[in-house]
Amino acid sequence: MGVKKELHRRHIALDDRCSGCGIEVESIAHALFECSNVQQVWNSFDLNDIIADSPHHAPFTEWLLWMNTRVGRDDLRSILTIVWAVWFCRNKHVFAREELDMRAA
């Protein structure tokens, strides 16, 4: 389900479009991995190929289990830190109207 779609249904958001690019419907996969704004972050990361090949549209727990079988502990920790930073910046933008640089978070 789209993240913004649920916020729109609850009258928290004006629409269901991505808060980053404003083009696509915002799903968790889009917000964390596919948005053009987020792609800038992943493209600067050494493991961007594994991120691109990962099952974005699977439930997050399945994605995490998949990722755990593909990378080592330190890389997984780095990936999850970036995921957290991307989601943190997205939430600051959606709920507090703050613009944060994901690369600095």
Report the number of distinct structural domains present in the chain. Answer: 1
The pLDDT assigned to 1 comes to 56
| Structural domain range at position 50 | 28-96
Give the up-direction half-sphere exposure of residue 83: CA atoms within 13 A in the CB hemisphere.
17
Structure tokens at 58: 């699977």
Q: Select from 34, 31, 40 the least CA-distant residue to 101.
A: 40
Residues 19 and 40: their CA atoms lie apart, in Å, by 15
Is residue 69 one of the residues assigned to a domain? yes
Model's pTM, two decimal places?
0.83
Is residue 52 one of the residues assigned to a domain? yes
User: Mean pLDDT for each 10-residue chunk of the chain (105 residues)?
Assistant: 74 82 89 91 90 91 95 96 93 84 62
Please provide the size of the chain in residues: 105
Residues 97 and 59: their CA atoms lie apart, in Å, by 28
The pLDDT assigned to 103 comes to 61
Structure tokens at 45: 């990361």
The pLDDT assigned to 19 comes to 84
